[in-house]
């Protein structure tokens, strides 16, 4: 293939990957065997008898063994295809659907489509999808996924999105989406590490489309983003999952937060609130753990109805609590707890827990994972009751609290 050129998916793939029907048959056979309880080694032998090359067997086995793991990301996982690395980078179904709803249009381009997590959702909301990836294997798997969900409005192109050949093929799309590849384990998360680099994509496509969305790592600092955009933090089940940067006609406000799966949304100017220091002895009867997407978006003030100096407790980088006397129900709280008191050391805490009939504790402060169970077991070995509590750390005290509602229960049940 010509450097930077654009090829159709089926022309760019080697081995079994050339024959999509055969790949589907072989995966179906393997899945049938696995689903009826056949051990992976036996399935591997059966697959190797159906394909010509060892690396084709590896690929099929990877797809088969990854399928069960995709259950947490996709509702229709049983019919989808991902390799282990493709699944790791795939946009989860609920986030893909949210993005597709926001970007709904006639013709959409996915400029780094990977194995197709996002294009499945686009194909349901847009009339035409043009999907590009420079990796032929990823593109082949994306093609399998389009067939699996009956998406017949997707044009798959193997090539470099930054090349003229590809941008010419994209043509006059309404919107474009780009979820760039990122180096695993990188802490710094700068734009220049992302492939393709969003700044280069903007250069090539901003005059061609009305708006773009970049899906970037949520820990990327906003002051490293040199173009005007709406920064939308998305959480799934109370954890920050992604940061979407919308440009052009897709940008509707400076900052926003969306909590999935419910889809509740806040938008406005990001404001830093303090936090208002709360003395542990003055903590109110309830503690509400704010959804981290709302905190990262600087929209806590909005979640609290415009209140400028709420009783906020910043426990650590990931956890911010609101203290209140009354119970409050909000989709923007990932949990609500009844506050039971605080202790300045572990032995006082154990006394308090025994007075309250507690037998089990969940430790909710940042610690080395290898310390978690030794510390918890040591506390629980001294407890005599049956109740369950959560222990948070705030400054040098332990806050004891009982769960009232888990994440995203809206009506107080």
Ligand X SMILES: C[S@@+](CC[C@H](N)C(=O)[O-])C[C@H]1O[C@@H](n2cnc3c(N)ncnc32)[C@H](O)[C@@H]1O
Binding site for ligand X (CB under 6 A): 89-91, 112-118, 132-135, 138, 160-162, 179-181, 195-196
In angstroms, what is the minimal distance from the CB of 179 to ligand X?
A: 4
State which residue, 217 or 248, has the beta carbon closest to ligand X. Answer: 217
Work out whether strand 175-178 and strand 128-133 pair parallel, antiparallel, or are unpaired: unpaired
Q: CB of 321 within 8 A of CB of 342? A: no
State which residue, 202 or 273, has the beta carbon closest to ligand X. Answer: 202
In angstroms, what is the minimal distance from the CB of 127 to ligand X?
A: 20
In angstroms, what is the minimal distance from the CB of 176 to ligand X?
A: 12
State which residue, 27 or 80, has the beta carbon closest to ligand X. Answer: 80
State which residue, 134 or 288, has the beta carbon closest to ligand X. Answer: 134
State which residue, 115 or 323, has the beta carbon closest to ligand X. Answer: 115
Q: φ and ψ at 246, to 5 degrees?
A: -105, 135
In angstroms, what is the minimal distance from the CB of 375 to ligand X?
A: 36
Catalogue the E-assigned strands of 237-301. 239-246, 255-260, 264-268, 286-290
State which residue, 23 or 299, has the beta carbon closest to ligand X. Answer: 23
State which residue, 132 or 234, has the beta carbon closest to ligand X. Answer: 132
Q: Is 340 left (phi over 0), alpha (psi -120 to 50) or beta?
A: alpha
Beta bridge partners of 258: 234, 265
Q: Around 282, how many Cα atoms within 13 Å sit in the side-chain half-sphere?
A: 7
**C-alpha angle 138-177-205 in degrees, rounded to nearest 5:** 110
Q: How far is Cα 379 from Cα 384, in angstroms, rounded to an integer?
A: 11
Q: How far is Cα 88 from Cα 82, in angstroms, rounded to an integer?
A: 9
Q: Which residue has the tokens 């697959």?
A: 47
Q: φ and ψ at 329, to 5 degrees?
A: -110, 130
State which residue, 205 or 286, has the beta carbon closest to ligand X. Answer: 205
In angstroms, what is the minimal distance from the CB of 207 to ligand X?
A: 19
Q: How far is Cα 171 from Cα 132, in angstroms, rounded to an integer?
A: 13
State which residue, 90 or 300, has the beta carbon closest to ligand X. Answer: 90
Q: Find the distance separating the first CA and the last CA of the chain, reported in whole Å.
A: 59
Return the number of other C-beta atoms located less than 10 Å from residue 212's C-beta.
28
In angstroms, what is the minimal distance from the CB of 191 to ligand X?
A: 13
**Quick one: 26 exposed, middle or buried, by C-beta within 10 A (0-12, 13-18, 19+)?**
buried
State which residue, 77 or 89, has the beta carbon closest to ligand X. Answer: 89
Q: How far is Cα 231 from Cα 209, in angstroms, rounded to an integer?
A: 19
State which residue, 157 or 353, has the beta carbon closest to ligand X. Answer: 157
Spatial strand order in the sheet of 333-343: 312-314, 320-324, 286-290, 333-343, 397-405, 387-394, 358-363
Q: How far is Cα 331 from Cα 290, in angstroms, rounded to an integer?
A: 9
Does the CA dihedral 355-357-362-368 come out positive or negative?
positive
Q: How far is Cα 79 from Cα 369, in angstroms, rounded to an integer?
A: 35
């Amino acid at each position: 293939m010509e450097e930077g050129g654009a090829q159709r998916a089926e022309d760019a793939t080697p081995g079994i990957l050339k024959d999509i029907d055969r790949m589907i048959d072989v995966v179906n056979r393997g899945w049938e065997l696995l689903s009826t309880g056949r051990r992976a080694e036996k399935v591997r032998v059966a697959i190797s008898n159906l394909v010509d090359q060892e690396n084709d067997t590896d690929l099929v086995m990877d797809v088969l063994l990854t399928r069960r793991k995709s259950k947490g990301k996709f509702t229709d996982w049983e019919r989808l295809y991902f390799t282990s690395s493709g699944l790791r980078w795939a946009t989860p179904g609920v986030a893909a659907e949210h993005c597709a709803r926001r970007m709904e249009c006639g013709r959409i381009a996915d400029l780094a489509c990977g194995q197709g997590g996002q294009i499945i959702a686009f194909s349901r909301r847009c009339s035409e999808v043009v999907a590009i990836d420079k990796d032929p294997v990823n593109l082949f798997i994306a093609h399998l996924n389009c067939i699996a969900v009956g998406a017949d409005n997707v044009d798959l192109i193997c090539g470099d999105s930054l090349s003229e050949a590809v941008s010419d093929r994209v043509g006059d799309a309404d919107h474009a989406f780009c979820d760039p590849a990122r180096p695993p384990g990188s802490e710094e998360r700068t734009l220049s590490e992302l492939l393709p680099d969003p700044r280069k994509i903007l250069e090539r496509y901003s005059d061609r489309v009305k708006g773009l969305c970049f899906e970037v790592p949520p820990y990327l600092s906003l002051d490293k983003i040199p173009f005007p955009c709406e920064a939308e933090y998305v959480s799934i089940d109370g954890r920050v999952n992604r940061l979407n940067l919308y440009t052009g006609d897709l940008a509707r406000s400076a900052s926003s937060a969306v909590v999935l799966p419910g889809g509740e949304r806040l938008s406005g100017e990001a404001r830093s609130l303090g936090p208002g220091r709360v003395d542990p002895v003055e903590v109110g009867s309830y503690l509400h753990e704010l959804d981290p997407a709302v905190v990262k978006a600087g929209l806590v003030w909005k979640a609290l109805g415009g209140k400028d100096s709420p009783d906020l407790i910043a426990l650590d980088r990931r956890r911010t609590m609101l203290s209140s006397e009354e119970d409050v129900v909000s989709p923007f709280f990932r949990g609500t707890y009844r506050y039971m008191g605080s202790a300045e050391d572990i032995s006082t805490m154990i006394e308090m827990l025994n007075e309250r009939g507690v037998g089990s504790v969940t430790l909710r402060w940042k610690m080395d994972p290898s310390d978690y169970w030794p510390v918890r077991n040591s506390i629980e070995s001294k407890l005599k009751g049956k109740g369950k509590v959560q222990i948070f750390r705030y400054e040098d005290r332990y806050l004891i609290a009982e769960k009232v509602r888990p994440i995203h229960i809206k009506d107080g049940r």
